[in-house]
Structure 1
Amino acid sequence: MKPELQALPLIDNSGSHRFELTVNYATAFMEYGNREGALALFHTEVPGQLEGQGVGTALVEKVLAEVERRQQQLIPLCPFVTSYLKRHPEWQRLVAPAYQRWFQPPAEA
């Protein structure tokens, strides 16, 4: 995560079921919900003026740290989160067991 994004607070806007990260008066967010006793991450949105600045990555990292802090399991339904988890397997430990297969290498024929 870029150093200038580390100190920014992650806001849990539970009324809207989303985590929010505000950068320069623009807010990136990740929609979530509770499913099967875990936290399902549905969609990540980064405003156009923040794209390409590492804001999406910072949001994912902050959300994953929060999920871990809460000792919850994760259901990664958002393609952006799934892509991040494939590139950073150290976070796959948070994925609910039923969804771990998404991150397994394909079986050899």
Structure 2
Amino acid sequence: MKTAEVQHQPQQQRFVLHLDGAEAVLDYVITGKVINFHHTFVPVEFRGKGLAEKLVRHGLAWAKAQQYQITASCWYVQKFLR
């Protein structure tokens, strides 16, 4: 697997990594100036490679640059907000 780049798909409110026919995703919902990261998913065969962390760090950096108030109902993203 080559190193995938995180792509932002704002219409779907998600960040995605395309992985040899599969996708890893970080989903969010925006309400006003609040962004809630509510779901991460990495296919089983790609887990343990730091891909979820890559998605989360990218998403959080984007949200911060956009000056959103960041919240997370996803337990995995919550770990990065502590």
How does the TM-score come out when normalised to structure 2?
0.81
Identity %: 26
- Structure with the larger RCO, 1 or 2 (CA within 8 Å, 6+ apart): 2
Give the deviation of 1:10 after TM superposition.
2.4
Report the secondary structure of 1:84's partner residue.
helix
Q: How many residues align?
A: 81
Larger radius of gyration: 1
Between structures 1 and 2, the one with greater helix share: 1
What are the ranges of 5 or more consecutive residues in structure 1 without an aligned counterpart? Answer: 87-109
1:64 and 2:60 matched: yes
Look up the equivalent residue of 1:71 and give its one-letter code.
Q
Q: TM-score, normalised by structure 1?
A: 0.63
Residue ranges of structure 2 left out of the alignment (5+ in a row): none
Structure 1 residue ranges, 4+ long, deviating more than 4 angstroms after superposition: none
**Does the aligned pair in 2 maintain the 1:10–1:62 contact within 8 Å?**
yes
Of 23, 26, 29, 1:27 maps to: 23
